[in-house]
């Protein structure tokens, strides 16, 4: 993944982590100027992106207990997003496979927020901007359903994780092979050095014997 895309994603998460008190006076949203809370916004007047979707989340994404309640799902998804994109943002480049996988949790967080009547429309619009920016990393359309994006992020993340682990394992094997090869070479050099020493000693003895013969003659 290109550095610019990672940087783009980081910028959006930084904006989301800023305290509401620091947000500019003029609201940077469209629908929030007419509706304050989601409960005030009739579903028939909302774009499809702001309508809650009942999702059968991928296996192992959430525990069975979490899946019993939409609030539990949102809470767990928010925790995952916070840990990956805020607390561990410095390691996003190194662990890109985890960044892609956990982008599925951002989709879940946004979608489950649409099931809360007291959520502000302004916060939803800000979340959607960040969501759309993240989707660009896998070229997922802003108009695609949340379920589609969730499965694409999750599946791609799993594939990338498998590749990451295989590469890591191959590096260890390569390092082990290189280590054995180095040890073998060191042994050869030691044996060679020993042989040279023996040869040198024998040569000196032979030279001494020949010298003694010459003197005696």
Q: Which two tokens stand for residue 173?
A: 């094997």
Beta-strand (E) ranges in the chain?
none
- Name the nearest CA neighbour of 16 among 112, 127, 120: 127
For residue 116, give Cα distances in angstroms to 15, 40, 41, 52, 74: 22, 12, 12, 9, 10
Asked if residue 198 has pLDDT above 80, the reply is: no
Query: Residue 101 burial by CB count (10 A; 0-12/13-18/19+): exposed, middle or buried?
Result: buried
pLDDT in tens, 122-143: 999 999 999 999 999 889 999 9
Under 8 Å between Cβ of 85 and 9? yes
- Which secondary structure element, helix H or strand E, spans residue 60, and what is its range? none
- Band of the pLDDT at 68, cuts 50, 70, 90? very high
How confident is the model over 10-54, as pLDDT tens digits? Answer: 545 554 554 444 444 456 799 999 999 999 999 999 999 999 999
The answer on pLDDT for 6 being more than 90 is: no
DSSP 137-197: GGT--TTS-HHHHHHHHHHHHHHHHHHHHHHHHHHHHHHHHHHHHHHHHHHHHHHHHHHHH
Question: Is 70 exceeded by the pLDDT of residue 1?
Answer: no
Banded pLDDT at 168 (limits 50, 70, 90): confident
Tens digits of residue pLDDT in 187-197? 666 765 666 56
Residues 203-215, mean pLDDT to the nearest whole number: 55
Q: What percent of the chain has pLDDT over 90?
A: 56
pLDDT band (50, 70, 90) for residue 111? very high
The mean pLDDT of 78-88, rounded to a whole number, is 93
Strand ranges, E, within 35-174:
none
Residue 72 has pLDDT above 80, yes or no: yes
Mean pLDDT score of the chain, rounded to an integer? 81
């Amino acid at each position: 993944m290109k550095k610019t895309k990672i940087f783009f994603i980081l910028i959006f998460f930084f904006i989301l982590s800023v305290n509401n008190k620091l947000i500019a006076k003029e609201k940077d949203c469209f629908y929030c100027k007419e509706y304050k809370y989601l409960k005030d916004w009739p579903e028939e007047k909302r774009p499809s992106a702001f309508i809650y979707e009942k999702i059968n989340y991928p296996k192992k994404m959430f525990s069975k207990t979490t899946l019993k309640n939409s609030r539990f799902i949102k809470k767990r998804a928010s925790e995952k997003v916070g840990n990956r994109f805020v607390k561990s943002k410095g390691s996003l480049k190194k662990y890109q496979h985890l960044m892609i996988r956990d982008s599925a949790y951002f989709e879940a967080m946004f979608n489950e927020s649409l099931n809360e009547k007291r959520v502000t429309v302004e916060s939803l619009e800000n979340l959607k901007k960040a969501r759309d920016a993240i989707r660009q990393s896998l070229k997922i359309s802003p108009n695609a359903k949340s379920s589609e994006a969730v499965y694409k992020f999750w599946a791609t993340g799993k594939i990338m994780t498998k590749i990451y682990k295989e590469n890591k394992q191959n590096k260890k094997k390569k390092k082990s092979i290189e280590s054995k090869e180095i040890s073998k070479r060191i042994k050869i050099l030691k044996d060679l050095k020993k042989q040279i020493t023996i040869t040198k000693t024998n040569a000196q003895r032979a030279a001494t014997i020949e010298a003694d013969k010459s003197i005696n003659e």
